Amino acid sequence: MRNKNSWLVLIVLLVAFSLWVDLSKTLLVYNPFNDQPLIERDVDTKLGLDLRGGLQALLEADVPAETEVTAEDLLNAKNILQNRANALGVSEVVMQTAGDRRIVAEFPGVTNPEEVVAALKQTALLEFVDMGTTPVLEGTIVQTDFGIENAPAVNEAGETIYHTVMTGAALQTASVSRSDTGQYAISFVLKSDATDIFGEYTTSHQGQYLAIVLDKQVISAPVIQSPITSGEGQISGSFTQDAAQTLAVQLRSGALPIPIKVVESRTVGPTLGEESLRKSVLAGLIGLAVVILFMGIYYRVPGVVADLALICYAIFTLMLFKLIPVVLTLPGIAGFILSVGMAVDANVLIFERLKEELRNGRNLRQAIDLAWSRAWPSIRDSNTSTLITCVILFFLGSRFGAGMVKGFSITLALGVGVSLFTAIIVTRTFLHTLLDRVKLEDHPNWFGL
């Protein structure tokens, strides 16, 4: 610990930063040159479904049982659904694949579950369909040749099959706007390769109808008045604000690779009420206070130093939870509390070795360094085995849709990592800073000897 002063400065700066994050709901840092926000991030504590309540849904691929659903399609569907939920303003969404065909979705704090589920499960296949000179009413169901090789002019029912010029995959962005008449609309920008295709088509088809079709239903069918070569356009129709926002979200996130159906959905109340949660937090604080008191009484000065390191541990861990962010659930909190116990275990191992070295006649500086070096193999092995267990739990939780198991493994692994840092670096730095100039023979009671 020759560089203990450098470590001490680093620890103080880290504590200051962690306290800033822990006590804030939003991190806001301004650019000193133009007074514009340089960093603006929400760091409010994220609570899971069991602490906050909300919606839990089980989604499944809506295809025949004999149809294979690839792992890639299921993963892409999960990512698209999660992007849609986030864009709809649903925070702390947790989605996990479960088995080969299902997705488990949790939406903490949701108050309108029907709208969320309806928006998520739509395939949102947007098509720009050539209608020729045939006018079509909004809401009409039409047949298109998208996905059909060598499509005939009419289908078996005698219905005309219209040509799809391009799909929503050609869109680069989509956002809610207002039309010239003041109605809600969707403004879009095409990708560069689609801009040329759209420009050529609108140039050669002026005066004809181009239908905007969503999931085979016409939402608008404007006449092409002039060539559109800029790659920008607007979808108008009888949209409400919510409907326009939902459609824009679906178009931005893309169409689902497989149709999805809702197998089960239920509104979940918080497992713990506000009073029960308050009592649980109080019990945790009491337990922490008892541990701090025990360490101080039994190990004297080293115990007090360990208590300071334990407080640093709690500050650092909460900072990580808020920055990552980690969605806290009851099992997640249990993982954090378990890691607190492991942080105390590391200090116990170190201090017992410290006592042995002092009894063997070592001076205080030598005893501190020897205690750490000789306790380290035990600390390393015990924490490594815990981290391996966390990896296994994380994999199983992700594979089978057990979000609570996954949350437990994440908080425990983070806690173990921080506890190693505080035990090996923080506690050791504090001890050297306070005790390097203390003569053991003058104060043996300080060390419980």
Calpha distance 347→422 (Å, rounded): 9
Average pLDDT for the chain:
82
- On the CB side of 289, CA atoms within 13 Å amount to 6
Closest CA to 52 of 440, 297, 330: 330
How would you classify residue 87: left for phi > 0, otherwise alpha for psi between -120 and 50, otherwise beta?
alpha
Check if CATH label 3.40.50.261 holds for domain 54-118.
no
Helical segments of 25-155, H only:
49-52, 71-87, 113-121
Calpha distance 227→206 (Å, rounded): 7
The tens digit of pLDDT for each residue in 89-116 reads 666 677 888 888 888 888 887 767 676 7
- Between 366 and 11, the higher pLDDT residue: 11
The tokens for 332 are: 């997640």
The tens digit of pLDDT for each residue in 325-357 reads 888 888 888 888 888 888 888 888 888 888 888
Torsional sign, CA 9, 382, 380, 374: positive
Look at residue 384 and tell me whether its pLDDT is greater than 80: yes
Strand partners, 21: none
Q: What are phi and psi of 265, to 5 degrees?
A: -145, 140
Calpha distance 209→220 (Å, rounded): 10
pLDDT-based confidence at residue 306 (cuts at 50, 70, 90): confident
The tens digit of pLDDT for each residue in 156-182 reads 777 788 888 988 778 888 888 888 888
Q: What percent of the chain has pLDDT over 90?
A: 12
Beta strands in 320-413 (DSSP E): 327-328
Asked if residue 403 lies in contact with residue 329, where contact means CB atoms within 8 angstroms, the answer is yes
Strand partners, 232: 189
Calpha distance 143→149 (Å, rounded): 14
3-state secondary structure of 104: strand
Burial of residue 262 (number of CB atoms within 10 Å: 0-12, 13-18, 19+)? middle
Strands 143-144 and 161-167: parallel
Calpha distance 165→196 (Å, rounded): 12
- Between 2 and 287, the higher pLDDT residue: 287
pLDDT of residue 92: 65
Strands 327-328 and 46-47: parallel
pLDDT-based confidence at residue 88 (cuts at 50, 70, 90): low
Place of tokens 């990580």: 320
Check if CATH label 3.30.1360.200 holds for domain 126-255.
yes
Calpha distance 41→19 (Å, rounded): 16
The tokens for 80 are: 């698209």
- Between 319 and 236, the higher pLDDT residue: 319
Calpha distance 252→174 (Å, rounded): 6
pLDDT-based confidence at residue 418 (cuts at 50, 70, 90): very high
Superfamily of domain 4-28+272-447: Multidrug efflux transporter AcrB transmembrane domain (1.20.1640.10)
Terminal CA-CA length for the chain: 24
Calpha distance 322→24 (Å, rounded): 10
pLDDT of residue 242: 76
The CB density around residue 220, as the number of other CB atoms within 10 Å, is 20
The tokens for 152 are: 């005939």
Q: How far is CA 273 from CA 53, 179, 269, 279, 334, in A?
A: 10, 47, 9, 10, 17
**Whole-model pTM above 0.85?**
no
Kindly compute the dihedral angle of the four CA atoms of residues 244, 245, 251, 257, in this order, to the nearest 10 degrees: -110
How far is C-alpha 236 from the chain's CA centre? Answer: 34
The tens digit of pLDDT for each residue in 263-290 reads 888 887 776 656 666 776 777 788 788 8
Calpha distance 336→17 (Å, rounded): 21
The tokens for 227 are: 């060539």
Asked if residue 235 lies in contact with residue 185, where contact means CB atoms within 8 angstroms, the answer is yes
Domain ranges of the chain: 4-28+272-447, 54-118, 126-255
